[in-house]
Amino acid sequence: MKAPYIFATANQKGGVGKTTTVITLGSSLSVFGFRVLLVDLDPQASLTNHLAVEPEKLECYVGDLMISDSFNPADAIINKYRLKNGGCIDLLPSNINLARIEAELSISKGGGLKLREKLKFFKNSYDYIIIDSSPALSVLLISAVAASDEIIIPVMADFLSARGVDLLLSTITKIEKALDTKCTYRLLITMFDRRTNSSLKSADYFKNKYRNNHFSGLINIDTKFRDASLIKKPLTYIDIHSRGALDYIGVAREIINGLDGGDNEGDKK
Ligand SMILES: Nc1ncnc2c1ncn2[C@@H]1O[C@H](COP(=O)(O)OP(=O)(O)OP(=O)(O)O)[C@@H](O)[C@H]1O
Ligand SMILES: [Mg+2]
């Protein structure tokens, strides 16, 4: 496996589970013993908040690294969780100033490549890096696509969510061409409610339409995700047996087995 393997979440639709995926998938990978860096690339700083880090009090954040060479990338990292099995979660946090940096990056030459460049610094420090994106098609999305090996597209299990996916995919293709980079993607169905017809039908629709580009596992609706964001901890650490945590652990397994033919899961456990 290429290390670190870099994921970014993307969907210009808000509230589909991008941040929840970053934090719960990241923590699920850590329970298998992997070293995980979570990157908050959203000026709303939901991921930073969710990990109980106050965005206003940061001395250094992801935007500083993207706009200036005078910061040491290591200084921006916050060590959040260290597990006994060697797994960890670190955070490269965000704050509202990223919105200003976003404007600067969009008019500077090569602005979209800055994050990719800076993440190279962490080459030997992590097994996985997961980038959380804002709900927009902006230079921050370009930065996330340029930096990642694979895009995770969380989609809510309803038909309204279907509309934006093709737009997102054509945007990603344009970014790939412009930057001469290659990125794969997989859809992840979130907030699935098996009691409703619309959830069942839309899940079938996504699985058929994006046949080779979706995770087999899907994420059920679970009110415990909201509790976790109030407690400001990953659900995987609060209640590993909850429906939501088990779903993301399943996705983590899919990733580990897919990338390493399953060998790594046993090694790392
Ligand atoms: N599977 C789920 N079941 C129930 N609630 C969920 C689930 N996934 C996410 N949520 C809740 O839905 C809300 C939106 O989720 P989240 O913040 O992850 O979306 P987002 O795509 O990151 O939003 P934004 O586009 O604003 O960044 C949150 O309150 C979260 O706790
Ligand atoms: Mg979010």
- CATH code where residue 260 lies: 3.40.50.300
Mean pLDDT, all residues of the chain: 93
Q: For residue 263, report the distance from its CA to the centre of ligand 2, in Å.
A: 32
What's the rounded Cα separation, in Å, for the pair 69 and 67?
A: 7
**Better-scored residue on pLDDT, 162 or 173:** 173
- Selection from 255, 258, 234 nearest residue 245 by Cα: 234
Atom index in ligand 1 nearest the CA of residue 229 equals 31
Find how far residue 16's CA is from the centre of its chain. Answer: 12
* Contact 43 CB / ligand 1 (< 6 Å): no
Residue 1 has what pLDDT?
A: 67
Residues 6+ apart with CB under 8 A from 233: 51, 52
Atom index in ligand 1 nearest the CA of residue 23 equals 18
pTM: 0.96
Residue 145 has what pLDDT?
A: 95
Residue 183 has what pLDDT?
A: 87
* Contact 46 CB / ligand 1 (< 6 Å): yes
Task: Answer whether residue 263 shows pLDDT above 80.
Answer: no
Residue 262 has what pLDDT?
A: 43
What's the rounded Cα separation, in Å, for the pair 131 and 57?
A: 21
Domain total of the chain: 1
- pLDDT tens, residue by residue, 30-43: 999 999 999 999 99
Strand, coil or helix: 154: strand
Domain residues for the domain of 151 are 5-268
Residue 182 has what pLDDT?
A: 86
- pLDDT tens, residue by residue, 23-82: 999 999 999 999 999 999 999 999 999 999 999 999 999 999 999 999 999 999 999 999
Q: Report whether 16 contacts 190 (CB < 8 A).
A: yes
Which residues are within 5 Å of ligand 2 (an ion), measured at CB?
A: 18-19, 46
